[in-house]
Structure 1
Amino acid sequence: MDVAEWTPHDEALNSIIEVLRDSLVPDSEIQRKVQEKIIMMQKHPDFANYLLYILRNSQAYEEHVRALSAIILKNNVSTTYDTIPIPVLNQMKQECLHLMLDSSKDVRASITTLIGTLIWKGNVSSWPDVIPYLCNLLDSSDSQVSETALMALFKICEEYLSKRGTEKEESNESLNALVSKFITLVSSDRTVIRRDSIKLLNQAMQDNSATTKIHFDSKMYLNNLFQVIEDDDIEVQKLVCQAFCTFMETRDVAILSQIHNIIEFMLQKTEHEETEVALQACEFWLATAKLTTCRDILIPYIDRLLPILLRNMKYSEYELDALRNCIGVDEHLDDKPDDIRPFNMRNSARSNEDDSDLGYCNGEGDSYEQTDAIGEPYIGWTLRKCSAASLDALSLKFGDEMLPVLFPLIREALNSGDFLIKESGILALGAIADGCMNGLKMCLPGFIDYLLNCMNSDHSLVRVITCWTLSRYMGWIMEEPTAEHYFIQVMTILLKHFLDGNKRLQRAALSAFCIFQEEARLKLVPYIDFVLQAFLLCFKKYKFRSYLLLYDAIGVLAQSVGNNLNKLEYINLLLPPLMHKFNSTEDYYDEQFMALMECLSNVAIALEGGFLPYAEVIYSRCLLIINETVTSIQCYIENPDEFELPDRDPMCVAHDMLLGMAIGLKTYFVKFVTNSNLLQNMYYTLQDEMVQVRQPALALYGELIKLCFDHLNSTVHECIPIIIENLDKRYDIACNNAAWVIGKLCIAMGNKIEPYANQILERFLEIMQTMNGIKTMYQTVAISLCTLGLVCPDQVMPHLSVILRPCCQAMRNVGDCEEKDMGFRGLCELVVRNPLAAVNDFIYFCDAVASWNEIRSDLKETVTNILIGFKNHSGEGNWSGFYEQFPPLLKMRLNKLYGI
C-alpha cells in the first residue's frame, strides 16, 4: 500500500491525540504518564505514520498539537531511524518540504528541527532535492518563508559540520557549496539572514577550520564582513567581533591584509556602550595575546589599548547588582542555592611536575575564570574578567615594556577617591604580576604596604580583590630578605580575614592563604599552632561554602608542612572538628562531605602513624561508599529500566581517601585491607567506564602493590589485563597511573610478569611513538618501560633502537627518585646487552645520565662502564668528534658525575 494512502485507526489516533494534548498540562504526574505512553507508542510500527497524519491535517488539529507531533516524530527518528521503512522515510521527507510552507510558525520551526535530524541520522546524498528546494524558498519574497528556509539550511549545516571528523562523515558538494552561499548572504538586506549567516560561518571556522577550507573562501568572508561592519544590529556587531576573533584564533592568514582596519574596529568596539559587544571585542585581545607574533601586531596600538582595558576592569552595574547581597556583613545569612552547588576544589593531589618522586596523577587546578578572586563564578564571564585576563596575557608578551604606559594609569586608579576605580587598579596590579615582575620589584615594597593597608578598607570588594592581588606576589614575598619583613604581616592579616563578617572575603582570604602556604612550605613550621588556632575559630563561624575553602586550606597546610604536622598537640587541635564534621554527615553525596574527604586525605598523608586512631571509622565509611556504588552500578547494568545509574563522585573521593591513608599509614594500612572486601570491589572500579573512577583506583592499587603484594598475589593475574587496558593515552592521567602500576608490578613480580610483557610492550611502544600528551605520562611510561627491560630484557631488548631516544628524553626531566633509579638500571641493562642498538642515539643516553644529582654508587659504576666502553670502542679520534657536539653544561655534568 502507498504510504500516502495510509489511513489511521480511530482508536489509536485518538489515543495519540490525547497524549499530545496531555503533554501540555503542567502536572508532574501527568507528564510522567505521558512519557511512559510515548515510550510504549514508539514500539508501534505505524507510530511515525500517525504523527505524519496529524502533521498534515492542519484543519483537524490545533497548531500546538501538530508542532508537538513534529517534535515527537523527530525524537522517534533519532532513536529508531534504522528500523523505519524506506517508504515511510521518503514520505516523511516529502511532507517536511510541503510543511515548510505551513501557515503555523511553530509547525514550520518544528519541521526545520526534524529536517536537521533526518540529515544527521541519514545523509544529504539520500535526499538530493532538499537543499535546492530550500534555496529556492530562501529567495522567496515572503519573509516568513525565507526565514524558515534559512533556519532549515542552518540546521542542516550544523548537523553536517558536527559530523565532520566522525565515522559518518560524508563529502557532499552541495553542502560544501552551501557554506559558500552563506558567505554571500552575510551582506543580505535582511537582518535575520545576516545574523544567522555570520553565526553559522563562525561555527564553521571554529569547529572545522581545516576541513571547510576547500569551499570556504575566507578572503571573501572577510570582505563581506567589512560590508556590515557598521551594522546597527547589536547581535550582528557581536558576531562580527566574534568572526574577527575566530580569524585570529585559527591563525587565518587572510586577516593580515586587513589587520590594521580590524584592530581599529576592535579598539572602538571594546569601548562600546553595549557590554556584550565590548566583551566579544575584548576576546580579540585575549586571542591575539596567544600568538607568537603578538608584540609585532600590537606594538603600534598598545598605548591606546591598555587604558581601555583598565577602564573596562571596573565593576559594571550588572556585576554590582549580582553581588549586592554579598557585599556587606552577611556571615549570619545562610548560603543561597547559587552558593551551595558543585564546586571545583584546588588540586589536592601530589603534583608530579613539582615533586621529585614520580608517581600517579590526580588532576589539574582551576582556571583563571573559576577562581574566587575576580568575582563569584555564577556571575559568568564578564567584560571585567576578560579585560583582566587580556591584560595578564599581554603582560606575559610585552613584559616591562608595558609599564611606562600602564604604571601611571594604575597609580592614578590606586589613588582614586572612587573605591570602584581603586578596586580596578588593584585588580590590574595583580593581573600584571607574572609578566611585569622584574620591572615592578623596585616598587613592590610600597605596593605591598599599600595592599596591606587596603585589607582594612571599609569596602569588602576592595578587601576581596586585595587578597587575590597579594596572592599573585607571594613568590616575591617569600624571597629573602623580603620574607623577614612581610611574612608575618601577610600571614597575620590573611588569618584575621578568615573571620571577616563578609563570607566572600572569608573565601578570598582562604584562597590567598592557600597560595601563601604553597610558597612558604616549611617556613610555616614555627607557626603551625598559630594557623591551626585560626582554622579552629573558622569551624565555629562558617556557613556552607566557606567550609569548602577551609578544607582546601587545611589540605594545603598538610601538603606544605608534611609530617611536621604529626605532633599530638596539633592532632588534638585539628582532628576533632574535622571528625565531628565527618561523623555528623550522613549524606556522602553532599559536596561538603566530599571536600572534607579530600582534605582528610592530605591530612592522613602528613600525619602518617598519627592518623591511626581515626583510620578505622574513615576506612569503614569509604568501603561502604564503594560497596554501595559498585552494587548500584551492577544493578543498573543488569536492569537499567528498574535501577538508576548512581553518581560516582563519592566513590572517586573514597578511593582518594584510601589512597591518602595507604601513603600515610603504610604498613598499618594493611590490616584494613586484609580484613575487608576492598580488592573484590577494586576489580570493578579498575575497569569502570568512567576514567574519573579508574584514575584513583589505579593509584590505590599501585600503593597496595608496594604495601601488601603478598595479599594481592592470588588475584593479581585477574587484574593485570585490566591494568594493561588502561594503558590508553587518550585518557592520559589514568594511563599515567596504569603505567606507574606496571612499574610497581615489575618490581614486585620480577620475571614472573613475563607472560604479559609483550602486551605491555605493545601498549608502551604505541604511547611513546608520539609524545604529545602530558609530560608526566611519558615520563612514567618511559621509566616503567625501562623497568620492564630490567626484569624481562629479552622481550624489550630488540626494541632498544626505537625506545632509547624517547625514553632518555622523558627520563632526563625526572628528579632523583626510586622509580628513576629502577628505570635507569633497566635502560643500562638493555644497552649492555645490545650496545649496537644504542650507537645512533647515544648522545641522548649521555644527556639522560647527566640529569642525576645524587646517583647510587652501583648504578653510577654501571653508567661509567658504559660510557668508557663506548669511548674505547669508538676510538680516541671518533670519541673526540662525538664529544665536541656536547653543550658545555653536559660536558661539565658528565665529568663531575662519571669522570668522562
Structure 2
Amino acid sequence: MSTWAPATAGTAQIVALIAEYLDPRANQREMLGRLERCATFPDFNLYLAHVLTSEEEPGRREDVRQSAGLLLKNNLKTSWTTTMSEEYRAFVRETLVRSLGHGSRLIRTTCGTCVAVIVRCGGVENWPTLWPALAAAVEQGDDNSRDGALDALYKACEEVNGRLDVKVPGMSDSPAGVLIPRLFALFQAPSAKVRQQSVGVVNMIAPCWPENHYALLDTYLQGLFALANDPDNDVRRLVCSGLVMLINVCPEKLAPNLRQIITYMLERQDDEDKDVAMESCEFWGAFCEADLGDDYVQILREFTPRLIPVLLTNMAYQEDDDEVIQAEDDEVNVGREDRDQDIKPTFRDTKDKGSQGDEADDGQDDTDDFVWNLRKSSANGLDILSNVFGDELLPIILPVVEQRLRESRWEIRESAILALGAVAEGCSAGLLPYLPTLITFLLPMLDDARPLVRSTTCWTLSRFSPWVLQCARPSNDPNAMPQQQGMEQLNTLITAQCKRCLDHNKHVQAAACGAIATVLAEGRDTMAPWAETVVQTLTQALGMYQRKNLRNLYDALTMLAENIGPSLQEARFAGALLPGMIHRWDTANGADPELFHLLECLTALIIGFGGAAGQYSSGIFTKCNAALGLMLQRRVAVQRGEIPAEEYSVDVVICTLDLLSGLCEGLGPDIETLVAQSQLREIILACCVDESPGVKRSAYALVGDLARSCTAQLNASLQQFMELIITQLQPSNVVSMTMSVCNNASWAAGELAIRTPPDALRPFVAPLAQCMVQILDMRMVNRALGENAAITLGRLAMVCPEDLQSGLSHFVNSWCSALRRLRDGVEKEHGFQGLCKLIQMNPTAAEGGLGAFVEAIASWRVCRNEALVATMGQLLVGFKDHIGAQKWEIVKRDLEPGVTRKLAEQYNV
C-alpha cells in the first residue's frame, strides 16, 4: 500500500495547468514546455492519477480529467520502469484499478488505457493483484465495473498480443486460465456491448491459448456458434473473427463442423453489414495459409463453384466508396494542389553497411493509399485461393470474367480486370495460352474514360510482366514465342504504361508508376533497350507530379537506378533527371517530412549514374554540406527552445549523410577534391555523437565510405574517429536499439584499418581488437555485426599482426566460427589473411581452435586469392605434421563428412 497523499494546492495547480493547456487560445508550445518540466517532478504522475480519478470535486471538467489521464499514460511509457519508486507505482496501480468502475465511461476507459500501458511496461506477471480484481469485476461487478474491466482487459491484450498465459506469483492459474471461463459466461449477456467485449477479449487471447485449458476450446467454439446469427453487427463480425482465429490455432476443432462453418462464412459474405462481410472474407485466406491436410482442402474445393462468384461480386466498387469519390474528384479537378491531409505518413527504411550485402532494418515505408475493405479482402482471397487450387479454378473464373468484361457498368468491368490480376500468379500456367489475347484486350482499357479502370489495368498488366519479360528473352523452348515478337509485345506494354504515368489523374499516375517500378525490378538488364523511354517519361513526370505522387515516382526512379544496369550510366540520362531532382530539393522546405524520400531517391540515382553524374556532383556535395550544417544549427536551437521542434528533421540529416555516401560510391577517389574543400569532417564528428541512433548509424557508414574513397581526408581526425568507434563498441553500448550503429562503426573501423599505415593504426589496435572479440563472444549479437567484427579483426591483424598474435588463443574459436559464416569475397579474404598471419606468427596459440580453423577453411566455395589458398594449405599441412597422424585423425573425426572430403580434395590432408 502507498501512503502518498496529494496536497490540495498541488492538485489545484495541476488542474489549472491542464485547463489552460486545453484552452484553444493558449500558446501550445509554451504549455507543452511547462507540462514537460512538470514531468520531471517525482510525484507528478501521482497528481495526474489523482486528478483523473478523484471525487473530491464532483464538478471538475471531464475533459481536464481525461487529459490528465492521457498525460499520465504517455508519462508511464517512459517512467514506469526507470524513475518511479515502488511506493509511487503502488499508488498509481491502486488508484487506477479502483476507478475502473467509475460512473463516467470516459474516465473508466481512460483508466483502462493507463492500466494497459502499465501491463505492457511492467509485464503481466508483475501485477499479481490486477487479474483477480478484473476477474471479480467481470463475474460479479455492477454494469460500470464490468464495462471498465472488460475495456481494460481488451486494451491490455492489445498491448501484450493476447499473451496472458503467464505464470503470476500468488495465482494458481494464469490470468488467461482464470479469465476465459468468466468471459464465456458473458457470451449470452443481454447487453450487446458486453457480448462484444467478452468475445473480443477471448479472440485476442486465442492465439496464445493456455495449453492446460485445451478442452475449453470446445466451449469457445460452441459459444461462437450460439452467437452466429446475433442481431448485433459487431457481435457477428467478432464471431467471424473468432472462427478465422480458430482455423489457425486449432483447425482440428473445426473439422467436424467444417462444411457448416464454410456455409456460414459464405452466407456472411452477403451480410448487410460490410464489416461483417469483410471479416468473413478473411476466412478463405486464413484457411489456405493454415497449411491444412488434403482432406480439409478437398472440403473447401467442393465450395469453390459457389465461393468464386461471391468473391468476384464483392470485388466491385460501390459508387460511394472513398476511393471512387477521390479518383473521380481528381478527374474533374485536374491539377488541383495536394493538401497536407492527402500526404500519407511514412517511416524510413535504412540499411546497415557491411560486406555481406545491405540488410534492411525493421523500419517500414507505409505508402498504402487505401483502407482495407471488402473489395481488397475479396481480391486477396481470390489470389490466395488461386495459389492453392491453381488452374482448376479457371473454368469457374473465366466465364464470369468474360461476361463481366462485356458489362456496360464500369464497376463490373473493373472488377473483372482486377480478378485477372489477382489470379495472374496462381493460374499462370493455365492462363499462358490466353495471355497474348488478354494483353491485347487489356491495353485499350488503359484509355478507358473511368480513372479506376485505367489504374486497375495498370496493376493487372504489371502482374503479367514476368511472363512478358520472359518472352522477350532468348529461349531454347521450341514452343516459346519468338523473341522478336516478345520484344515487340514488351515494347507495346512499356510504351502504354509510360503513357499512363503522364495521365492527368493522380490515381492513375500512382498505379502506372507502380507498374513501371515492378517491370524494372523484374526485368533488370532486359529493360536496357527501354532506358531512354523510361527516363524521358519519368523526367516529364518529375516536372508535372504534385506532392502526393512524388513518392511513387521516387520509387520508380529508385528501381530504375538499382536495376537497369550500366546502360543507365550515360551523361544524357543524368542530364535529363538530375536537374529536376535538384530543383525539387531547392524548392523543398528544409524540414519537410517528404524531403527524405527525395534524398533517398537521389542517392540511388547518383550511385546508378556513376561517373555520368560528374558535372552535378560538386553542386550536390555543396548542398549536402549546407543542409547538414543548417540542420545541426537548428538542432542546437531546438534544444535551447529558440525554434519549434518541427524545424529540425532527423530524417533529413540521415538521408543527407546517406546521399554523401552515395556520392562516395558513385565518384570514388574523385570525391577527394570536394571533401578537401569542405568542413565535412567536422560535421561527421558531430553526427557521430548525435543522440539519434539513426544519425550515428549513417555517420559511421559515411566514415567507412570516405575511408574507401579518400582516406587521407580523415587522417587529421583519425584519433577522434577511432576513439568514438571504440566507445561505441563497448559492450554496454551494443544493445538492440544501437545494433546497427555498432555494425556500421565496426565496418568503418575495418575500412580505416586496412588503409592506415601501421604506425598510425597501432595505438588503436588493442582496444579495437578487444571490442571485436567481445562482440564475437556475445550470444545474441546481430549476425551482420558479428560478421563485420570478424572481418575488422582480420584487417587489424593484416596491418599490425604483432600487436595481436599473443592473444590469439583466447579468440581463435569464436573468430573462426564467425568467419565460417561469411560469403566468399574480398572481405572474407581479409578476415582469413589476418587470421593466417597470426597463426604463422604463433601457431601454438591456434592449436586449441584447430577444429574450428579447419571448418572455417572448408567453408570456402571458391577463394580467388591464390596466395591465400596456398597459405591455408601450408598451415593445414603444417598442423597435420606437427600434431601427428593420430591426433589429426581425432580432429577429422569431429568434422562433417563433406568437410573432410573437401579438405582431402583441395588440400590433400
Same fold (TM over 0.5): yes
Deviation per CA, 1:175-205: give whole Å up to 9, x if none: 4554232243334343222211222223334
TM-superposition CA deviations, 1:400-434 (whole Å, max 9, x none): 45445445444444454443233223223323333
Distance 1:620 1:281, change over 3 A: same
Query: Any conservation in 2 of the 1:289–1:390 contact (CA below 8 Å)?
Result: no
- In the alignment, structure 1 residue 446 sits paired with structure 2 residue 437: yes
| Structure 1 residues 821-859: Cα deviation after superposition (integer angstroms, max 9, x where no partner) | 43454576689855884548957754x32356xx24434
Q: Which residue of 2 aligns with 1:741?
A: 748
Seen in structure 2, the aligned counterparts of structure 1 residues 613 and 627 have a Cα distance that, compared at 3 Å, is same
User: SS of the counterpart of 1:611?
Assistant: helix
Q: Contact (CA 8 Å) 2:417, 2:457: kept in 1 or not?
A: yes
The answer to whether structure 1 residue 758 and structure 2 residue 770 are counterparts is yes
Kept in 1, the 8 Å contact 2:101–2:146? The answer is no
Q: Distance in 1 between matches of 2:134 and 2:892?
A: 75
**Distance in structure 2 (CA, Å) of the matches to 1:122 and 1:275:** 39
* Aligned residue number for residue 546 of structure 1: 549
State the match for 1:374 in structure 2.
none
1:850 lines up with 2:861 in the alignment? yes
1:462–1:95 CA distance, 2 compared to 1 (3 A): closer
- Displacement, 1:271? 4.0
Aligned match for 2:500, one of 487, 497, 503? 497
1:720 to 709, 717, 725: 725
1:470 is the counterpart of 2:470: no
Residue 627 of structure 1 and its aligned partner are, at CA, apart by 2.8
Deviations 1:651-681 (A, max 9, x none): 1110121111111111121233233332333
Asked if structure 2 preserves the Cα contact closer than 8 Å seen for 1:360 and 1:699, the reply is no
Q: Equivalent residue for 1:420?
A: 411
Alignment of 1:577-592 (within 5 A): 577-585=580-588, 587-592=589-594
- Could you tell me which residue of structure 2 aligns to residue 624 of structure 1? 626
Three-state SS of the structure 2 residue aligned to 1:185 is: coil
> Match of 1:594?
596
Contact 2:15-2:64 at 8 Å conserved across structures: no
In the comparison of the two structures, how many residue pairs are matched? 864
- 1:94-140: CA deviation from partner (whole Å, max 9, x where unpaired): 8974x677665555556666776788899999998877676666566
Return closer, same or farther for 1:196/1:858 CA change in 2, 3 Å cut-off: same
Deviation digits for residues 492-527 of structure 1, max 9, x if unmatched?
112222221212212222221122233343444444
Which deviations, in whole Å up to 9, do the C-alpha atoms of 1:50-100 show, x marking residues without a partner? 996997657863674895597489569959987799699769948974x67
Moved more, 663-672 or 99-108: 99-108
Measure the CA separation in 1 of the matches of 2:127 and 2:585. 61
Q: CA deviation at 1:388?
A: 2.6
In 2: Cα distance, 1:442 partner to 1:41 partner: 69
Counterpart of 1:179? 179
The code of the aligned residue for 1:503 comes to K
Q: How much does 1:759 deviate?
A: 1.8
Q: Aligned AA for 1:849?
A: W
Q: Deviation of residue 877 (structure 1)? A: 11
Structure 2 alignment gaps of length 5 or more: 474-482
* 1:44-443 mapped onto 2 (5 Å cutoff): 61=59, 64=62, 67=65, 71=69, 78=76, 93=94, 97=98, 106=106, 138=138, 143-144=143-144, 146-148=146-148, 150-151=150-151, 172=171, 175-176=175-176, 178-180=178-180, 181-206=182-207, 209=208, 213=211, 217-250=216-249, 261-293=260-292, 297-302=296-301, 303=304, 304-316=306-318, 317-326=320-329, 328=331, 330-343=333-346, 358-361=356-359, 377-400=368-391, 402-443=393-434
1:312 CA drift (Å): 2.7
Q: 2:522 aligns with which of 519, 523, 527?
A: 519
**1:819 has 2:819 as partner:** no
Question: In the superposition, relative to structure 1, how do residues 184 and 703 fare at CA in structure 2: closer, same or farther (>3 Å)?
Answer: same
CA contact (8 A) 2:539 2:576 kept: yes
For 2:827, the aligned partner's letter is E
Q: CA deviation at 1:648?
A: 0.4
Question: Contact 2:787–2:822 at 8 Å: present in 1 too?
Answer: yes
- Provide the TM-score with structure 1 as the length reference: 0.79
* Aligned equivalents of 1:145, 1:176: Cα separation in 2: 19
Name the stretch that deviates more: 867-876 or 664-673: 867-876
Paired residues of 1:860 and 1:898 also in contact (CA < 8 A): no
Distance 2:29 2:528 in 1: 61
Query: Is this contact kept in 2: 1:184–1:224, CA < 8 A?
Result: no
- Once the two structures are superposed, the pairs formed by residues 31-46 of structure 1 within 5 Å of their partners are 36=34
CA distance in 2, matches of 1:93, 1:746: 58
Deviation at 1:763, TM superposition (A): 1.0
Q: CA 1:700–1:299 in structure 2 vs 1: closer, same or farther (change >3 Å)?
A: farther
Taking only aligned residues, the RMSD between alpha carbons, in angstroms, comes to 5.1
Which whole-Å CA distance do the structure 1 matches of 2:820 and 2:4 have between them? 71
* Structure 1 residues 488 and 829: alpha-carbon distance in aligned structure 2, compared to 1, 3 A threshold: farther
Q: State how far apart, in whole Å, the 2-side matches of 1:121 and 1:309 are.
A: 43
Report if the CA contact (8 A) 2:52-2:69 is conserved: no
Q: Distance in 2 between matches of 1:734 and 1:5?
A: 45
**Which deviations, in whole Å up to 9, do the C-alpha atoms of 1:312-337 show, x marking residues without a partner?**
32224424544354463543222233
User: How much does 1:262 deviate?
Assistant: 4.2
User: 1:465: Cα distance to partner?
Assistant: 1.4
Question: Given that residues 564 and 606 in structure 1 are in contact (C-alpha distance below 8 angstroms), is that contact kept between their aligned partners in structure 2?
Answer: no
User: Could you say which residue in structure 1 is the equivalent of 2:561?
Assistant: 558
Counterpart-to-counterpart distance in 2, 1:578 and 1:279: 42
Say which is worse superposed, 872-881 or 410-419, in terms of deviation.
872-881
Cα distance in 2 for residues equivalent to 1:498 and 1:379: 19
8 Å contact kept, 2:421–2:461: yes
Residue 341 of structure 2: SS of its match in structure 1?
Answer: coil
Give the deviation of 1:275 after TM superposition.
1.6
Q: CA deviation at 1:694?
A: 3.4
Residues 1:885 and 1:617: Cα distance change in structure 2 (over 3 Å): same
Compared with structure 1, are the counterparts of its residues 675 and 154 closer, same or farther at alpha carbon in structure 2 (3 Å cutoff)? same
Q: Is the 8 A contact 2:614 2:667 kept in 1?
A: yes
**Contact 2:199/2:238 (<8 A) preserved:** yes
Residue 657 of structure 1 aligns to a residue whose secondary structure is helix
Relative to structure 1, is the Cα distance of residues 429 and 185 closer, same or farther in structure 2, using a 3 angstrom cutoff?
same
Counterpart Cα distance in 2 of 1:337 and 1:643 = 19
Change (3 A) 1:565 1:405: same
The answer on 1:461 being equivalent to 2:452 is yes
Deviation, structure 1 residue 636: 5.6
User: How does 1:629-778 map onto structure 2 within 5 Å?
Assistant: 629-633=631-635, 644=645, 646-713=648-715, 714=718, 715-722=720-727, 724=729, 734=741, 736-749=743-756, 752=762, 753-766=765-778
Residue 862 of structure 1: how far off its partner (Å): 4.7
Structure 1 segments unaligned to the other structure (5+ residues): 372-376
Task: For 1:28 and 1:589, locate their aligned partners in 2 and report how far apart those are by CA, in whole Å.
Answer: 25
Q: Percent identity of the aligned residues?
A: 25
Q: Distance in 2 between matches of 1:843 and 1:463?
A: 58
> SS of 1:442's equivalent?
helix
Matches within 5 A, 1:473-488: 473-479=464-470, 480=473, 481=483, 483-488=486-491
CA distance in 2, matches of 1:475, 1:154: 45
Task: State the Cα deviation string for residues 250-305 of structure 1 (Å, max 9, x = none).
Answer: 56865566655544443433443322112222333333443343766434214254
Q: Which amino acid aligns with 2:776?
A: F
**More displaced stretch, 23-32 vs 756-765:** 23-32
Structure 1 residue 233, shift from structure 2 partner: 1.5
SS in structure 2 at match of 1:229: coil
500-509 or 115-124: bigger deviation: 115-124
Please, what TM-score do these two structures have when normalized by structure 2?
0.79
Superposed CA offset, 1:193-218 (max 9, x none) = 22112222233345xx27x5567854
Could you tell me how far 1:686 is from its partner in structure 2?
3.4
CA contact (8 A) 1:685 1:693 kept: yes
